[in-house]
Amino acid sequence: EQGHSVDIYLCDSELREGWVRRSNIPFDSIIPPEGKTQGEVLMRYLASMGHRRDSVGLTFLSPDDLQAIEEGRTAVGLRGRGPLYTYIWRQLQGIEREMVDDTVAPCDAIRLYRGIRATLHDQPTHAPVGSLSLLIDLAGLVGWMATLLLLLASLTLSLLLAYRRGYWWLAEGTWVFWVLLIAL
């Protein structure tokens, strides 16, 4: 995490005891977005700060740090950031993990990239992701320029909906698709 190994300088029993004193959330509770336990998030957060994962490392946590950990933020760089920034951070982190170790589960961006690549190269082994095949078919019918304009309009609309109404999932999916399509 941030160049620091998470698995060294770790004392699980001290973390459990210290966490009970500092937070009302149980150490083994699951945090919904990614399915990590509160303890795993705590360990990764401490690693991102460069501290040991023990009772001494817990003393460096401020109230803002505790709130960020309880919200599921795994790195100090995500503290106080919005959902779109956090999503992009996690996608980039997933891409980095994919480049280092191909055995980890790929992130949304990697799955989308593989789907686009498989569709463009007619490889039937990878199914396209979501509505990708519909967009590729649309591009064949009306041309790539019209499809890119449609994607730009959909990105703009989804960002407006995310800003005004809180539909971040729509903006995130459209944004990732748009960036990967441009990258190809």
| Higher-scoring residue by pLDDT: 52, 145 | 52
The token duo for 73 is 């933020």
For all residues of the chain together, what is the average pLDDT? 72
Determine the structural domain holding residue 144 and report its residue range.
83-183
Average pLDDT (87-116) is: 68
Last residue of a domain, which of 78, 93, 123?
A: 78
What is the pLDDT, as a whole number, of residue 128? 44
What is the pLDDT, as a whole number, of residue 181? 61
Question: Between helices 38-49 and 63-70, what is the axis angle to 10°?
Answer: 140
Are 113 and 59 members of one domain?
no
Number of domains forming the structure of the chain: 2
| Higher-scoring residue by pLDDT: 128, 84 | 84
Q: Are 2 and 77 in contact (CB under 8 A)?
A: yes
Question: One-letter amino acid identity for 14?
Answer: E
Q: Of 14-18, 28-32, 166-170, 171-175, where does the model show the most confidence?
A: 14-18
Average pLDDT (136-162) is: 64
Instruction: Assess whether pLDDT exceeds 60 at residue 161.
Output: yes
Q: Is residue 3 one of the residues assigned to a domain?
A: no
| Higher-scoring residue by pLDDT: 149, 144 | 149
pLDDT in tens, 112-147: 666 666 666 654 444 444 445 555 555 555 565 666
Instruction: Assess whether pLDDT exceeds 60 at residue 2.
Output: no
Are 107 and 147 members of one domain?
yes
Rg (CA), the chain: 20
Are 168 and 90 members of one domain?
yes
Instruction: Assess whether pLDDT exceeds 80 at residue 58.
Output: yes
Are 160 and 74 members of one domain?
no
Last residue of a domain, which of 78, 95, 124?
A: 78
Which percentage of the chain shows pLDDT scores above 90? 0
- pLDDT band per the 50, 70, 90 thresholds, residue 51: confident
Say how far apart CA 90 and CA 72 lie, in whole Å.
Answer: 12
Average pLDDT (17-35) is: 82
Are 114 and 137 members of one domain?
yes
| Higher-scoring residue by pLDDT: 24, 82 | 24
The token duo for 148 is 């890119």
